[in-house]
Chains A and B, each alone.
Chain A
């Protein structure tokens, strides 16, 4: 459950606000599309939700916890519950697909656990990775090298990583921007299906308004930092 009320973000002194009085609620299992022209504040809104961008006014609550007050450990714990998916450049090429997928578990693993996994993953960990890859439709890529994946497969791996995070919400920033329309549609549908199936809140920025209308419960338009 995400509650955004009256949020304002200003990047520098004298700069116009990147977000101005934005109010928005997203319930568990609800799919919300975020549309708007370039520079309208979509990325800024998504990044303020997990505390990467500081807000100058208003409030953001995730599962009834106010984000602005969190620091250090508490902030990390919040981030484990908000899975971020960006454009396709956020996988680590030299790691295997399994390692990229299980990076989603880093938030709940201790440091020794994380290092041990790189050297000797357990059967249970591999099974979890396989389950996540099965959910995104590419179980056969379990043993592949990441740099051998296509653009669409990379996004599926990023979604699998998000699932491994056991999140309460998925925040996706233009996840299909660099894919061709047909592939993009598949990925959007996959995201919405998974969110409904697992009762996750989904906030996804998009440029394709027709996909937004077709697959999402609600479409929110940002223009110049305000909800239009």
Chain B
């Protein structure tokens, strides 16, 4: 036991110090630029495609139901699965990453912006419609200005996710920091791996800061345009290698599994679900006590801010990167997968829990404090029951997300459907691969549907995306 612990410490220690030599940092400039470029280009396409779709949904254009269904279906494919598909079809390199990100985030922007538009204040829109304005005019003068703050908040959140996702995409050969990270870990070059993790955390923090600036000055969003266009131009030849793409895509049909593979599907699905549930549980167990000391209304400001920094770091490191680090410490298998999901989820849930605790109404808390109650009883009698709804909803959303993520960590050997999918790709069994993609898609779609039903049943369906 103690041996195992010292081993673990030694392994964690082997990541230190990070390689901060000038030569290595200079060599990282290209992958960093690639990563930013991929995220920017992917998001640019996502906005260009997603916003009109959202307008079509919100204005109930002909076929809007079909659009909603298509976007929901697309969103149920995990980003990594899309990336593997894109690498197969488009070829290795940033172009594949851009295609995968563009598809995934077009669906996300379309759905969520559609919901935001639909929730916009109806009266000004009625007035616009009464003037006989076209859909474009209604969007430009009504929908977009009415919902701008929410659009920006979600837009920067999506961009942050895209930045993390571009790392994931990179790990399967999409280029950028992800490819670099997978390389350093497979050659056991831990010092450089740590450097990359630090760069990643800094990038995500940068996007976060950019988001805060952009909410104050929305014109900053236009910066996305040149960055995205340049990166699209640079990676253009591959993106438009259309004939090759169509040919490769055709080789995936029809999807096919051997009888023995079909027989082992239940086990694979069970493994994936176990990783998701275990990771969510671990994340919630870590996040819950930590969120109590991250809520500014419960503890002094400085303490809360310090704990939130820890959440930020855990949030900035994608599940896959935790997984890559964990397999060299605890070995491959579902345990590494669940731990990876748990650590990342702890960061996400910690932040959300802390915000829910801070958002409870003041009057009941003041009343409890006025009885002379101690701090922890005020939490137990006030903060917790008042915040229970949001805490449960956030956890359920995380569980839904973790079903996706569990297929993602499969590719580094955590087991389950994801691993089977990745192995099929590596061996060029594209028909098998497509079959596993379809199974993954069905699993995620089912868990989304189930989660939505459950939240509706609880009457707590009020947290957006």
Contact = CB atoms under 8 A, between A and B. Distances in A.
Contacts of B373: 76, 103, 106-107, 114
Contacts of A118: 380-381
Contact of A95 (B372, B378, B385): B385
A1 B22 CA distance: 73
A89 B372 contact: no
B388 interface: yes
A34 interface: no
Given A99-B381, A106-B377, A79 B371 contact: yes
Interface stretch (A11-19, A80-88, A194-202, A210-218): A80-88
Interface stretch (B223-231, B245-253, B361-369): B361-369
Contact of B386 (A94, A99, A158): A94
Given A86-B363, A89-B363, A106 B372 contact: yes
Contact of B376 (A77, A91, A105, A111): A111
A80 B377 contact: no
Contact of A90 (B366, B376, B378, B380): B366
Contacts of A161: 371
A86 B372 contact: no
Contacts of A165: 371-372
A106 B388 contact: no
Give the interface centre of B364, B366, B367, B385 by most chain A CB atoms within 10 Å.
B367
Interface string A95-133: 100010001111111110011001000000000000000
A152 B253 CA distance: 69
A52 B370 contact: yes
B219 interface: no
A90 B363 contact: yes
A92 interface: yes
Contacts of A106: 368, 371-374, 377-378, 381
Interface string A66-81: 0000000001111110
A50 interface: yes
Contacts of A104: 371
Give the interface centre of A79, A84, A90 by most chain B CB atoms within 10 Å.
A90
A114 B388 contact: no
A43 B370 CA distance: 14
B349 to A, nearest CB: 20
A120 B369 CA distance: 23
B377 A115 contact: yes
Nearest to B378: A106
B381 A92 contact: yes
A28 B368 CA distance: 24
Contacts of B364: 89-92
A89 B364 CA distance: 7
B371 A92 contact: no
B279 interface: no
B367 A90 contact: yes
Contacts of A103: 367-368, 371, 373, 381
A114 B380 contact: yes
Contacts of B42: none
Nearest to A82: B370
A180 B374 CA distance: 35
B52 to A, nearest CB: 43
A161 B370 CA distance: 11
B382 interface: yes
A186 to B, nearest CB: 21
Contacts of B386: 92-94
A77 B371 contact: no
Contacts of A107: 371-373
Given A86-B367, A89-B361, A94 B374 contact: no
Contacts of A111: 374, 376-377
Give the interface centre of B376, B378, B388 by most chain A CB atoms within 10 Å.
B376
Interface string B368-406: 111111101110111001101000000000000000000
A114 B361 contact: no
B381 A79 contact: no
A95 B371 contact: no
A75 to B, nearest CB: 8
B85 to A, nearest CB: 45
Interface string A2-29: 0000000000000000000000000000
Interface of B: 361, 363-364, 366-374, 376-378, 380-382, 385-386, 388
8 contacts: A79-B370, A80-B371, A89-B361, A89-B363, A92-B364, A94-B385, A106-B371, A115-B376
Given A76-B374, A86-B367, 19 more contacts: A83-B370, A86-B366, A87-B363, A92-B382, A92-B386, A94-B386, A95-B385, A103-B367, A106-B373, A106-B377, A107-B372, A108-B372, A111-B376, A111-B377, A114-B373, A114-B377, A118-B380, A118-B381, A165-B372
Nearest 4 CB-CB pairings of A with B: A107-B372, A106-B373, A79-B372, A90-B367
